[in-house]
Amino acid sequence: MRILYSGIIPDGRNGKNIMQEKYHIITYGCQMNVHESEKIAGILRGLGYEETSEKEDADIIVFNTCCIRENAENHAFGNIGALKKLKKQKPNLLIAVGGCMTQEKGKTDVLKKKFPFIDIMFGTLNLEELGNLILRKKAQKKKVIEIREKEGEIVEFTDAYRTSYPNAWVNIMYGCNNFCSYCIVPYVRGRERSRKPENIIEEVRGLIAEGYKEITLLGQNVNSYGSDGTTGMTFAQLLDAVASIEGDFRLRFMTSHPKDFNEDVVLVMKKHRKICRLVHLPVQSGSNAVLKAMNRRYTREKYLDEIKMLKKHLPEAEVTTDIIVGFPGETEEDYLQTEALVKEVDFASAFTFVYSKRQGTKAADMEGHIPEEIQKDRIMRLVELVNSLTRKKSEKYLGKTVEILCEDYDAKKGLYMGRDEFGRMGYFASATDVIGQLVQIKITKANGISLFGEIV
C-alpha cells in the first residue's frame, strides 16, 4: 500500500474534526468522474474536512472537470469564473481544479491565465496526491500545480467516501487504448491498465458486507480487461468471479466496446441471475463509412450480429447506447442509416450527442466539418426518435409487476424512487423507508421515461 499523505494528519476519521473546515466538490462528466469525486471526498475527509452543500460555507472547493465535449468545459469555465467574488471575500478559501480538463495539453496555462485565483491544480493521473498537494498549499503562498504526463502504476484506493448507497461503483481498469478519432479520453486518461482481480474482488466483498446492493464495474472498455496480460483473467472470467461472490446484489458493468464484446461475456451473464440483463454498447453511428472514419473498428453488421447473439442467449436483454451525430463528413444518408439502426435495435435508451471538435484528436483535422444548423437538425430528429421508442417501451410496462431497487426518497414528489434491472426509473409510495431494498412494484402509469406504481 502506498502512503497517500505525508505530514501531520488531522484526525477526521473518528469524529474529531480538528480543522473544523468544510469541503464542497463540483463534478462534471461521466460515472468515472462521479466515482473519482467519491475518492476525492475520501481524501478530504482523511484530512479532517467535512462536507458542505453550500459553496459559500466551504473552506475548499474542488472542481472535478470533464473535457469530453466543449460544453462540459464551458460549464466548468463558467463556474470557476463565478468564484472570483467569493475568493475575494474569503481569501483563505482554497480552490482546487482537477480531472480531465487539467490533464489536457496546455490547459493548465489557460486556466492559470484566466483564473489566477486557483490555488491547486491536479490531474486524473495523480488524483491520489491531492491530500499532499493541499498540505503543501497550506504551507506556502505559491499555487501548487502538479500534473503527471504519463500514467504510473495503479494506486489501490481504499478510502472512497461513497455517496450513492445502495449503488457502488468499482473501477476495474483505467485509461483507454482505442483512440476513436473524435475522442480525447486516451489523451487525458493515459493507456489502459487493469486492476488485479484479487483487489477488485476484495473491494466488492467489502461493499457487499457493508450492505451495498448494486455493484457497477467501471472501465472505458471493460471487454479488454486484462488484455495487457497483467491480470491472468479475461473480462468474462472476472465477471464470473465477481458474480460468484456470495450475497444478494445486482451486478452491472460498463462500458462495453462493440469491437471486443463477445459471447463469453453473454454466457457468464446467462449463468448468473445477479447480472442485470442490460448492456451499454455504444454504437456511435449506423453508417459503416462514419464508423471507419471514427476508427471504431467494427461495422454496422458486426454490431447487429452482436445484438442478435445477445438476444439468442438472453431474449429479455436490453441494450443502451451512445450516438454521435454530425461527425465530419457525415451525409444525410449516413445519418439516416443511424436512424434505421436505432429502430432496428430498439434501444432501451440512448445518449445522443452532437459531435464536438476536440483539439489534438484525429477528427479535429478532418475535412467536412458539418455546419451547426445541420448538426442541430439531426440531433433534434434523433432525440425525437429515441424518445418515441422509449415512450413505447414504457407503455409496455403498464399493468406489469417489476422489481425495483429503491435508491432514494424524492421529497418533491413525496415518493420513493429506484430502478429496475434495465435501468428504468420507477416511483412509488411507501409507508416505511425501503431505501436499499428490492421491492415489487405494479406499474400503473408510464410518463415518458419514468414509471409510477404501487408496492405489491
User: Which three-class secondary structure state does DSSP give residue 64?
Assistant: strand
Site string for ligand SF4, 88-117 (x = CB under 6 A): ------------------------------
Terminal-residue alpha carbon distance, the chain: 48
DSSP secondary structure, 279-314, as one string: EE---B-S-HHHHHHTT----HHHHHHHHHHHHHH-
Q: Which of 356, 375, 390, 394 binds ligand 5AD (CB under 6 A)?
A: 356
Q: Which is nearer to ligand SF4, 257 or 280 (CB)?
A: 257
Q: Which of 64, 103, 167, 284 binds ligand 5AD (CB under 6 A)?
A: 284
Q: Which of 69, 107, 250, 393 binds ligand 5AD (CB under 6 A)?
A: 69
Q: Which of 10, 186, 247, 329 binds ligand SF4 (CB under 6 A)?
A: 186
Site string for ligand 5AD, 168-187 (x = CB under 6 A): --------------xx----
Q: Does 180 bind ligand SF4 (CB under 6 A)?
A: yes
Q: Which stretch binds ligand 5AD (CB under 6 A): 87-95, 98-106, 330-338, 355-363?
A: 355-363
Grid cell, residue 164, equals 450513492
Q: Does 179 bind ligand SF4 (CB under 6 A)?
A: yes
Amino acid letter for position 69: R
CA–CA distance, 414 with 178 (Å, rounded to integer): 45
- Give the residue at shortest CB distance from ligand 5AD: 322
Q: Is residue 208 exposed (0-12), middle (13-18) or buried (19+ Cβ within 10 Å)? A: middle
186 binds, among ligand SF4, ligand 5AD, none (CB under 5 to 8 A by kind): ligand SF4
Least distance between ligand 5AD and beta carbon 217 (Å):
17
Least distance between ligand 5AD and beta carbon 356 (Å):
4
Grid cell, residue 183, equals 475522442
The vertex-58 CA angle with 56 and 59, nearest 5°, equals 130
Alpha-helical segments (H) within 140-196: 185-189
Q: Does 98 bind ligand 5AD (CB under 6 A)?
A: no
Strand stretches in 66-131, DSSP E? 94-99, 120-122
DSSP secondary structure, 204-228, as one string: HHHHHHHT--EEEEE-TTGGGTTTT
Task: By CB under 6 A, name the binding residues for ligand 5AD.
Answer: 68-69, 182-183, 282, 284, 322, 324, 353, 355-356, 358
Task: By CB under 6 A, name the binding residues for ligand SF4.
Answer: 176, 178-180, 183, 185-186, 220-221, 257
